[in-house]
Amino acid sequence: MGVGMIVRTLAQVLNTAAHVKGESFESRRILLAADGLGYSLHDTICKAGSEQLLHYKNHVETNYVIEGAGEVQNVATGEVFALTPGSVYVLDQHEAHILRAFADMRIICVFTPALTGRETHDASGSYPAPSGSES
């Protein structure tokens, strides 16, 4: 890691390799593993009307909703939680979940261990384990 603070803007990330677009989401990956922090920081848009089955088996994810509305469902229990600006949900037990956006939702996400920025979801909605880590 270099000397001094890391200062980066969302505008610097847009339309780069760190701006990953899918059918139902956009992940603007502001801080990544290469920054050496042990976590990554993402500014994510979940598109209105989308429903995503996600299951981060190798990462803990914290999510803070800052715009929009939707819900998250715990697949194992069936519990459904409303999401509006100011809501936080944490997947600290690697819970499989369904994320539904009723309106475009903007979510600030923190992953640990940090993502490299090149990950894509596999068929189970998970990201692969970081290199050198156990699943």
| 74-116 residue pLDDT tens | 999 999 999 999 999 999 999 999 999 999 999 999 999 999 8
Residue 125 lies in a domain: no
Report residue 10: phi and psi, to 5°.
Answer: -60, -40
pTM of the full structure: 0.85
User: What pLDDT is stored for residue 9 in this prediction?
Assistant: 97
CATH code of the domain in which 91 resides: 2.60.120.10
Residue 133 clears pLDDT 80, i.e. is over it: no
Residue 74 lies in a domain: yes
Q: Tally the domains of the chain.
A: 1
Residue 60 lies in a domain: yes
C-alpha triplet 78, 84, 127: angle, nearest 5°:
60
Contact present, 21 and 42 (Cβ < 8 Å): no
Residue 135 lies in a domain: no
Residue 4 lies in a domain: no
Which residue in this structure is represented by tokens 């600290």? 92
Residue 92 lies in a domain: yes
Q: Range of 20's domain?
A: 10-112
Residue 131 lies in a domain: no
Q: For residue 132, name the pLDDT band (cuts at 50, 70, 90).
A: very low
What is the rounded distance in angstroms from the CA atom of residue 11 to the CA atom of residue 59?
26
CA 77 to chain centre: 22
Residue 126 lies in a domain: no
The alpha helices in the chain, defined as continuous H runs, are 10-13
Q: Which residues contact 100 (CB under 8 A, 6 or more apart)?
A: 50, 51, 52, 70, 71, 72, 73
Cis peptide before 85 (omega within 30 of 0): no
